[in-house]
Structure 1
C-alpha cells in the first residue's frame, strides 16, 4: 500500500465528568477543530491541498451530529473547498478513518487526506444515540442476541480461563506503564494543549486519567462491574443477559464476572488527527513522511462474543503486508477490557513486552471515535523513540467487528 503518514496529533484525554471534566465545557466541534489546526503548524502543508477529511465519531447526535467533520473543518478556518465526512464503526472509527484515507491515497484518487476521530463522552456517554447494541430489532435478536460488551468481556475471560488476579495484574500494568510514559514525556510529541477559544486559557495539556496511586491491593478490593447487569431480564422468555450469553456458549457453564472498573477502559473526552499523503505529493512538496501504511483490514466476528476480532483483523492485515506476528516490534491493542488484550496476545502468541508498552485505555481512557487515531500517533512516537520499525494497531468494536493497520517507520 503506497500511503504515507506525515504526522499525527491529538488532544490530551480528559476524564469524562459532565460539567467537571477539563474538556467537558468545550464544544466537540471545537475539540476537533483545534486538533485540525495543529497539522499545518507541524508539517507546513497547505490545507487547501487536502482532498478530504474523514472523521470517526460514534455518538453522532446533537452537538456531535450535523456531520461534525465538516463543521470542524469550517470551525478550524480551513478553506470552504475542503470537504469532510463522519463515519461510525464504533470503537474502531478512528482507525477506520485512517484506513479510508490510506485507501484513497494508495488508489491514486487522492493525494492528501486527513483521518481523525473525536468523542466528547462527558456530554455523550455510552449509548447516547439510543440505539443500544442492535437498534431494538426483535427479528435480529432472534438470530443473535447481542449482550452488552461487559458481559461479552466476562464471557471471554471465562472461556479463556483467565483469573481475576491475571486481569487485575494487567490493569495495574496499564496504569504503571502510562504513569511512567507520562513522566518520561513519551506522549509529548503528539500532544498539544487544548485552550478555551474565548479566553485562550489552557484547559488541559496532559492526559489526566492515569492513577499513580493504583496498587494490586486496591484493584483486588474493587467489586466486579457487571454482576447486576448479567442478572437483568432481557430475553423474550424471561432470560437474563447471562443466560442469553450462555445459550450461545453453553460450554462456559456460567459467566464468571471478573472485570472491574480497574480492568475496563474509562470513558474520556478527546480527539486525534493523522495526515496521510501519497508518494507523489511528498515528492512534489519536498516532504518527509514519518511512516508508511503497509496494510489495513476490517473483519467481522461473532456478534455475541463480540470482542475477539482483533486477532483476526491483525492476521488479515499482516497477511496483506506479507508479515507474521513475530515481525511486529510494537503492538497497540485497544484496552477495551483486560481480557480483550490477553485473548488477542494468546491467540497470536505475542510477547506482552511488545504490547501496549505505554499503557492503554484502562489507564488513559477511551474516547470512542478518537481512540484509533490516537493509537496511531502513540505507535509512531514509540517507534521513533525506541528506534524500531513496525507497529500494528487494532481495536475491537461492538457488533462483532475489528480493524487493524500495519505501520512501517520511514
Structure 2
C-alpha cells in the first residue's frame, strides 16, 4: 500500500474529573485544534495541501457535536479550504480514521490527509449520547440482547478460564510498564504539552493516570466492578444481564466477575493526530516518512462476547500484508479490559513480551475516539527506539467489532 505516516502526535491523557481534571476546562474543539497545529509545525508541510481531515469521536453530542473535526480545523486557524469530517466506530474510531486516510492517498484520490481522534470524557462520559448498547431497539433485543461491555469482559474471562489473580497481574504489569516508559521518556517523541489558550500556561505535559504505587495487594483489595450490574434485571422475561450472557453462551454456566477498576481501562481526556501522505507526495516534496501503512482491516465479532475481534482483525490485516503473526515485532492491543489482551494474545499465540511494552489503557487511560491514533504513535515511536520493523495495532469495539492496522517502519 502506497500510504505513509509522516508523523504522529498526541496530547497527554488526563484523568477525566469534571471541573477538576487537568484538561476538563478546555473545550474539546480546542484540545483537538492544538493537536492539529502540531503536525505542520513538525513536518513543514503546507497546510493548504491537506485534502481532508478525518477524526474519530464516539460521543458526538453537545461540545463534541457539530462535526467537531471541521470546527477544530477552523479553531486551529487552518485555511477554510481544508475540509473535515467526524466518524464513529466506537473505540476503534481513531484507527478507522487512519484506514480511511490511507485508502484515500493509496487510491490516488488524495495526496495528504490528517487522521486522528478526540474524546473529552470529563465533559461527555460513557454513554453520553444516550444510545446505550443498542439504541433501545426492542425488536433487536428480541433477536439479540447485547450486554454491557463489562459483562462481556467478565464472560470472556470466564470462558477462557482467566483467574482474578491473572487479571490483577496483567493490571500491575500495565502500570509498571507505563511508569517505566514515562521515566525513560519513551512517549516523548509523540507527546506535546497542552496549554491554556488564553494564558499560555501549560495545563498538562505528561499522562497523569499511571499509578506508581500500584501493588498486587492493592489490586487484590479492589471490588469486582460489574457484579451489581450483572444482577440487574433487563431481559423481557425478567432475566438478569448475567443470565442473558449465559443464555447466549451456555458453556460458561455462570459469569464470574473478576474485572475491577485496576484491570479495566481508565476514563480520560485526550486527542491524537497523524499526517498521512501518498508516495507521490512524499517523493515530490522530499519528505522522510516515519512508517508505511501496509494493511488494515475491520471485522465483526459476536456482539454478546463483543470484545474478541482483535485477533481475527489482526490476522485479516496480516494476510492482506502477506505476513503472519511471527513477522510482528510489536503489538499494541487496546487494554479495554485485561481479559481482552490476554484472550487476543492467546488466540494469536503471541508472547506477551512483545505486547503493550509501554503499558496500555489500564494504566494510561482510554479516550475512546482518540485511542487508536494514540496507539499508532506509540507503536511507531517504539519501533524506532528498538530498531524494529513491523507493528500491529488492534482495538475491539462495542457491538462486536474490531479494527487492526499493520505498520512498517521506514
Describe how 1:69-88 pairs up with structure 2 within 5 A: 69-88=69-88
CA deviations 1:360-398 (Å, max 9, x no partner) are 000000000000000000000000001100000000000
Specify the alignment match of 1:42 in structure 2: 42
Listed as ranges, the matches of 1:150-299 within 5 Å are: 150-299=150-299
User: Offset at 1:171?
Assistant: 0.2
User: In 1, Cα distance between the equivalents of 2:151 and 2:326?
Assistant: 31
Separation in structure 1 between the aligned mates of residue 365 and residue 144 of structure 2, nearest angstrom: 29
2:322 aligned residue: 322
> Which structure 1 residue ranges, 4+ long, deviate > 2 Å from structure 2?
none
Q: Give 5+ residue unaligned stretches, structure 2.
A: none
Cα distance in 1 for partners of 2:141, 2:393 equals 31
Q: What is residue 25 of structure 2 aligned with on the other side?
A: 25
Distance in 2, matches of 1:304 and 1:370, equals 24
In the aligned structure 1, how far is the partner of 2:278 from the partner of 2:318? 21
Matched, 1:135 2:144: no
Matches within 5 A, 1:91-110: 91-110=91-110
- State yes or no: 1:361 paired with 2:355: no
**Secondary structure at 2:171 match in 1:** helix
Structure 2 equivalent of residue 65 of structure 1: 65
Mapped pair 1:389 → 2:393: no
CA distance in 1, matches of 2:327, 2:314: 12
Structure 1 position 143, deviation (Å): 1.4
Q: Distance in 2 between matches of 1:238 and 1:65?
A: 36
SS state at 2:180 partner: helix
TM-score (norm 2): 1.00
- Could you tell me how far apart the structure 2 residues matched to 1:49 and 1:143 are? 48
Partner of 2:407: 407
Structure 1 Cα separation of the partners of residues 142 and 378 of structure 2: 41
Partner Cα separation in structure 1 for residue 140 and residue 107 of structure 2:
36
Superposed CA RMSD in Å reads 0.3
Indicate the residue corresponding to 2:342 in structure 1.
Answer: 342
What secondary structure is seen at the aligned counterpart in 2 of 1:5?
Answer: strand
1:38 CA displacement: 0.3
- Mapped to 2, the partners of 1:44 and 1:187 lie a distance apart of 22
Structure 1: state its 5+ residue gaps: none
- 2:117 aligns with 117
Q: How many residues align?
A: 410
Cα distance in 2, alignment partners of residues 407 and 319 from structure 1: 13
CA distance in 2, matches of 1:158, 1:239: 19
C-alpha distance in 1, partners of 2:270/2:377? 13
Q: Distance in 2 between matches of 1:210 and 1:336?
A: 15
Q: Distance in 1 between matches of 2:384 and 2:143?
A: 47
- TM-superposed deviation, 1:122: 0.1
